[in-house]
Amino acid sequence: MFHFEVVTKWIDTFLMSNLPEWLALTIEFVLIGILILSAYAVLALILILAERKICAYFQCRLGPNRVGAWGVLQPIADMFKILLKEIITLNRADNRLFRLASFLVIIASLLTFGALPFDKGLHAIDFNVGVFYLLAVSALGVVGIVLAGWASNSKYTMIGAMRSGAQLISYELSCALSLMTIVMLSGTMQLSQIVEQQANMWFIFKGGIPAFIAFVIYLIAGHAETNRGPFDLPEAESELTAGYHTEYSGITFGFFYLAEYLNMFIIAAIATTMFLGAWQPLHIPGLDGFNMVMDYIPPVLWFFAKTFFCVFIALWVRWSFPRLRIDQLLRLEWKILMPIALANIVLMALWILVF
């Protein structure tokens, strides 16, 4: 197996042996920053194109096909267009908070992005309370969204922000409770160790039925966390124009747009890390030949394949179901997902005791 650890370790020792320590550390930090930033930007472009193409095929359309071959340059053109649009300052709004809200959303999303284990050695932030960190930092985005709706001082944004706040905090509970089953199984909250423990078998197989229930709950709740699909009533176009970001224009709108797409990726990546073994190849105990073949596929590819599979499920759900009403949405969370997630924790506890 080729791990990126080889490359990063080599750069580390090379810099450390040739330069004074402070300079080497500075260069490494700058490199990490550039890598994270470029990965974030490239993934955003890929996700936007993928979303538009896949949704077009779901609706029997062609999708973007004018800019570049098969429209591959479309997101880049969109990016330049958004940079060239005027940033409007509002008369009634609290303009400082208004700007700050869009910054908060994207900073929260990038901080979560930095904690994802792409590969051994391609893992920037690895706290020993990693799962906590992911939940805590992604919750910052809610503050940004509610602040955006509040600071715009408009009726549409206000209603959108309130709906979004209620939705996001409700579904955060199911997210936390379903991730807790995996923490019980692994006995650690450090993401790198959680990934290491899945070398023989991914947790979704190791944890049996409770892990599978937790996976499904996490996918539903995580999908609601991204404000998309059947759960997109904070920005329901037909009633609220664009919800909490109605008043945003130019790049400040672009931040919300970018964060929304990357949050979809991040939710899928967390599902991959916790349930599907992050960069660990698919191993079936007993079938050594099969395991050997699987080991030849690079771990980074495994990570992205599994994550994009989860992203595809999210897109599939988005274009297949009609939008829920707010009472249906809250009923789904508080009366169905939450009790199931709580019972699932007890079920997982019993599962660990028995097996």
Partner 1 sequence: MTNSALFLVVLVTAVFMVVAAMALAMWLSPKSYNALKGEPYECGIETRGPSWGQFRVGYYLIAILFLIFDVEAVLLFPWATIYSSIGLDGLILASFFIFVLLLGLIYAWKKGALEWK
Based on the shown chain and the rule CB under 8 A, indicate whether residue 127 belongs to the binding site for partner 1: yes
Question: Which residues inside 256-285 make contact with partner 1, applying CB under 8 A?
Answer: none
Of 29 and 57, which CB lies nearer to partner 1 in the complex structure? 29
The span of 59-67, 76-84, 265-273, 308-316 binding partner 1 (CB under 8 A) equals 76-84
Question: Which residues inside 56-75 make contact with partner 1, applying CB under 8 A?
Answer: none
The span of 60-68, 127-135, 194-202, 206-214 binding partner 1 (CB under 8 A) equals 127-135
Question: Of 6, 87, 199, 209, which lies in the binding site for partner 1, with binding defined by CB under 8 A?
Answer: 87
The span of 27-35, 63-71, 221-229, 276-284 binding partner 1 (CB under 8 A) equals 27-35
Question: Which residues inside 173-192 make contact with partner 1, applying CB under 8 A?
Answer: 173, 176-177, 180-181, 183-185, 187-189
Question: Which residues inside 35-54 make contact with partner 1, applying CB under 8 A?
Answer: 36-37, 40
The span of 30-38, 54-62, 227-235, 308-316 binding partner 1 (CB under 8 A) equals 30-38
CB 309, min distance to partner 1, A: 26
Residue with tokens 């599994």, as numbered in its chain = 306
Binding letters toward partner 1, positions 302-331, x by CB under 8 A: ------------------------xx--xx
Question: Of 1, 11, 46, 110, which lies in the binding site for partner 1, with binding defined by CB under 8 A?
Answer: 110
Question: Which residues inside 138-167 make contact with partner 1, applying CB under 8 A?
Answer: 150, 152-158, 162, 165-166
Based on the shown chain and the rule CB under 8 A, indicate whether residue 201 belongs to the binding site for partner 1: no
